[in-house]
Amino acid sequence: MLKILKYSFYDLMRSRWSYVYFAFYLLLGIVLLFLNNDLSKAVITLMNVIIVLVPLIGTIFGVMYYYNSREFTELLLAQPLKRSSIFLGQYLGVALSLSMSLILGLGIPFVFYGLFESSAIWDFSLLLITGTFLTLIFTALAFNIALSNENKIKGFGYAILLWLFLAVIYDGLFLMTLIMFEDYPLDKVSLIGTMLNPIDLSRTLILLKLDISALLGYTGAVFKQFFGTSFGLIVSFSVLIIWVLLPVWRISIKSKKKDF
Amino acid sequence: MNKLFIFLVAILLAQTNDAQNIEVCSTCPISTLKDAIAQAQDFDTIVIKKGTYKEYNVIVDKPLTIIGEDYPIIDGESKGEIITVISDNVTVDGLFIINVGTSYTEDYAAIRVKNSKNFVIQNLVLEKLFFGIYIEKSRDGKVFHNKIIGDAVEEYNSGNGIQLWYSKNVDIEHNFIQHVRDGIYLEFSHFCTIKNNVSSLNIRYGLHFMFSNDDVYQDNEFSNNGAGVAVMFSKRIKMYNNVFKENWGTASYGVLLKEINDAEIIGNTFEENTIGINIEGSNRIIYKNNDFKNNGWAVKVRGACYTNSFIENNFLYNSFDIAYNSKVNDNVFDRNYWSNYTGYDLDKDGIGDVPYRPVKLFSYIVNRTPETIILLRSMFIDIIDFSEKVSPVFTPDNLMDNNPLIKKNTW
């Protein structure tokens, strides 16, 4: 598996898209810092970008990589190799190279700007951690979609739909549910609703460290109890880890059964 | 001629009225404050030397000046009220008063001024107190440069730092108040000046006043209080250049205004409060040159607020600028700077060409269903906010700033 991971990783490192992705984040970091001059404000703006773009790029890139390397995959399948290690190796190769572009692309300008002396370092690390989680989750979901769909167009369609659903539509449905049931106690429902969507969860996690914690406290003791403590943080991260493990587990199951 | 006569009489009186100094110390002939007051003539000065004096229920019934040297400790041993002033023209200066008794039926204070005029309470340090300085039915006094550090934990068994009740023309300046129930509390007190005080870390309010008209609040700092500052049922008050900050919590406000009319709120800073200003039933208030910075809600308008004007304020990085729960708007927003403004200024006159709508649809939704706050900064919310901005349906369509500034207001 490690060999395949290494190969996929180097392959992607040489590819143009990784550089574009890396350069995009580098540029974003530099522009934000030098236009804003305020580290914590830059972190908020970055959050908006990360919440939307990282899942999108993870999904598209994952699907694209799977379909493009199909012939190579078939070649590998002819070798005496474990199927799960082939697909997991490829998945990790994509996910890690994307995460690396993200971390380096955003990290370099911030380090030059003087991140280590700033108090925003924890907010920023949290941002990068959730960004990495989102990459891992959405690349895994993309691999799942690609494995289940032979048709490229269909696969891309589903991938985009998935992103659209989790990034936008889910929140709409969530909001409508909350408004419809406004006569009932909603604290726990909204907590669970947040947990079920990795994008919402990451957003809440970051906002928690920025400005939302007191605003949330306003609505009720449950929010405050949950988000005000390290317990909330631990639960949130555990849910994110589950969100990574479930699709990865399905990749290995699905790949074992699939006909090529 | 008349003036000269009065002057001469005054000199004569000063000569004949040989005000004495009475010294109090543990080895002196007079070793307690009570004895000193009993033996003193009107207008004498009592000097208390350094030491510890275990006394309570000290009643000052003559016009005296009581001065502590090197902060002598007056220890009430938690038995009741410590000093009660019932005469006019009393000055109390430089004492360290501790251990005021706690009672559920009486408001014991470290120092109470009752029915008197021209009092001066200054340079006191109060600790372990129930009520600190309690001014009752008095007028023309000064409460100056005191330090009040309480140890209040619960609202029901703690008292206020400085309390005014039915008083008039009192100046409260340069006091430092922490860890009591309400830092400064005014009830039925008119024409008072509250200036340069610091009131922080109190359980309930930093400043709390009710039914107190024509008061001036200036250059004070209120921070980290349980519920910020509450201002209720008062007319013609003026709040200038105060700082309200870090009142973060479930029911915390920078300032809570309820039934306040004809007030002026100018040059204040509201920073990092859950709600900067919460307005309810308040009319004809002028908000000018205030900074609203990093608040959850900068201004939350509840209801029955008419003819208020928000002019030349800075709204900087608040999660919500204005929350509004009615469709009728009679309030004016003009020439403010809004950090969330996205318009342009083609004619370069410093005023944005597109009006700014400070009430977002999301803030309307959160008002209705508070739990939806969990969707803050989500992409879906940005989309519906944008569509509401383009064609307002739920928010009052005339609530807007027609002249939003492009650059921050400076003054």
Is the residue at B90 inside a domain?
Answer: yes
Residues B157 and B272 in one domain: no
Is the residue at B14 inside a domain?
Answer: no
Most confident of A9-18, A84-93, A105-114, B218-227: B218-227
Q: How confident is the model at residue B119, as a pLDDT?
A: 94
Q: How confident is the model at residue A5, as a pLDDT?
A: 79
- What is the enclosing helix (H) or strand (E) of A181? none
Residues B132 and B73 in one domain: yes
pLDDT at B1 over 80: no
Residues B189 and B272 in one domain: no
Per-residue pLDDT band for A75 (boundaries 50, 70, 90) equals confident
Q: Tell me the β-bridge partners of B65.
A: B45, B91
The last residue of one of the domains, among B196, B226, B256, is: B226
Residues B98 and B210 in one domain: yes
Q: Which of B249, B365, B370 sits opposite A214 (nearest CB)?
A: B249
Taking CA atoms, B386 is separated from A163, A215, B328, B361, in Å, by 21, 22, 21, 9
> Considering only residues 183 to 202 of chain A, which have any Cβ-Cβ distance to chain B shorter than 8 Å?
186-187, 189-191, 193-194, 200
| Partner B contacted by A208 (CB < 8 A) | no
DSSP states of A27-93 as a string?
HHHHHHHHHH--HHHHHHHHHHHHHHHHHHHHHHHHHHHHHHTHHHHHHHHTSS--HHHHHHHHHHH
Q: Which of A191, A215, A224, A236 to mutate to test the interface with B (most CBs of B within 10 A)?
A: A215
**Residue A182 with chain B: CB contacts under 8 Å:** 368-369, 371
Average pLDDT value for residue range A103-122:
80
Is the residue at B69 inside a domain?
Answer: yes
For residues B411 and B409, give the distance between their C-alpha atoms in angstroms, rounded to a whole number. Answer: 7
Is the residue at B8 inside a domain?
Answer: no
Q: Which of A85-99, A112-126, A167-181, B205-219 has the lowest mean pLDDT?
A: A112-126
For residues A224 and B27, give the distance between their C-alpha atoms in angstroms, rounded to a whole number. Answer: 58
Is the residue at B79 inside a domain?
Answer: yes
Q: Which of B369, B375, B383 sits opposite A182 (nearest CB)?
A: B369
User: Cβ contacts of residue A237 below 8 Å, gap of 6+?
Assistant: none
B356/chain A closest Cα distance in angstroms: 21
* Cβ within 8 Å, pair A214-B248: yes
Residues B84 and B161 in one domain: yes
B217/chain A closest Cα distance in angstroms: 28
Q: How confident is the model at residue A218, as a pLDDT?
A: 54
Residues B218 and B274 in one domain: no
* Cβ within 8 Å, pair B249-A182: no
A135/chain B closest Cα distance in angstroms: 18
Q: Which domain holds residue B297?
A: 244-411
A175/chain B closest Cα distance in angstroms: 6
For residues A175 and A212, give the distance between their C-alpha atoms in angstroms, rounded to a whole number. Answer: 17
SS3 content of chain A, % helix, strand, coil (to 5): 85, 0, 15
Average pLDDT value for residue range B122-141:
93
Q: How confident is the model at residue B365, as a pLDDT?
A: 87
In this structure, are residues B56 and B32 in contact, taking their beta carbons and an 8 Å threshold? Answer: no
**Residue B381 with chain A: CB contacts under 8 Å:** 171, 175
Per-residue pLDDT band for A221 (boundaries 50, 70, 90) equals low
pLDDT tens sequence across B347-384? 889 999 999 988 888 888 888 888 888 888 888 998 99
pLDDT at B224 over 80: yes
Is the residue at B7 inside a domain?
Answer: no
Q: What residues does each domain of chain A span?
A: 2-257
**Chain A residue closest in CA terms to B384:** A172
**Chain B residue closest in CA terms to A44:** B377
Verdict on whether the full-model pTM lies above 0.90: no
A187/chain B closest Cα distance in angstroms: 6
Q: Which of B250, B365, B383 sits opposite A218 (nearest CB)?
A: B250
Residues B315 and B213 in one domain: no
Q: Count how many pairs of residues, chain A against chain B, have C-beta atoms within 8 Å.
A: 87
Q: How confident is the model at residue B311, as a pLDDT?
A: 94
Q: Which of A46-60, A110-124, B159-173, B315-329 has the lowest mean pLDDT?
A: A110-124
Residues B248 and B340 in one domain: yes
* Cβ within 8 Å, pair A219-B376: no
For residues B163 and B134, give the distance between their C-alpha atoms in angstroms, rounded to a whole number. Answer: 5
pLDDT at B93 over 90: yes
**Residue B252 with chain A: CB contacts under 8 Å:** 214
The reply to whether ipTM tops 0.95 is no
Is the residue at B142 inside a domain?
Answer: yes
Q: How many residues does chain B have?
A: 411
**Chain A residue closest in CA terms to B365:** A179
**Chain A residue closest in CA terms to B297:** A215
Q: Which of B317, B365, B378 sits opposite A179 (nearest CB)?
A: B365
Is the residue at B4 inside a domain?
Answer: no
Q: Which of A167, A189, A219 sits opposite B373 (nearest CB)?
A: A219
Average pLDDT value for residue range B305-319:
91
| Partner B contacted by A219 (CB < 8 A) | yes
Q: Which of B248, B250, B375 sits opposite A175 (nearest CB)?
A: B375
Q: Which two tokens stand for residue B49?
A: 């030397």
Residues B297 and B177 in one domain: no
For residues B299 and B321, give the distance between their C-alpha atoms in angstroms, rounded to a whole number. Answer: 6
**Residue A200 with chain B: CB contacts under 8 Å:** 374-375, 378
Per-residue pLDDT band for B97 (boundaries 50, 70, 90) equals very high
**C-alpha closest to that of B254 among B220, B215, B210:** B220
* Cβ within 8 Å, pair B373-A175: no
**Chain A residue closest in CA terms to B296:** A215
Average pLDDT value for residue range A111-137:
83
Average pLDDT value for residue range A84-107:
89
Number of domains in chain B: 2
Residues B44 and B149 in one domain: yes
Q: Which of B249, B319, B371 sits opposite A217 (nearest CB)?
A: B249
The last residue of one of the domains, among B226, B257, B284, is: B226
Residues B219 and B316 in one domain: no
Going by their DSSP bridges, the two strands B21-24 and B58-60 should be labelled as: unpaired
The last residue of one of the domains, among B226, B258, B278, is: B226
pLDDT at B14 over 60: no
Which residue type, as a one-letter code, is found at position B290? Answer: N
Which residue type, as a one-letter code, is found at position B304? Answer: A
User: How much is the mean pLDDT over chain A?
Assistant: 85
* Cβ within 8 Å, pair A219-B370: yes
Here the CATH number for the domain that contains residue B31 is 2.160.20.10
A202/chain B closest Cα distance in angstroms: 11
Residues B158 and B255 in one domain: no
For residues B234 and B255, give the distance between their C-alpha atoms in angstroms, rounded to a whole number. Answer: 14
> Considering only residues 49 to 78 of chain A, which have any Cβ-Cβ distance to chain B shorter than 8 Å?
51-52
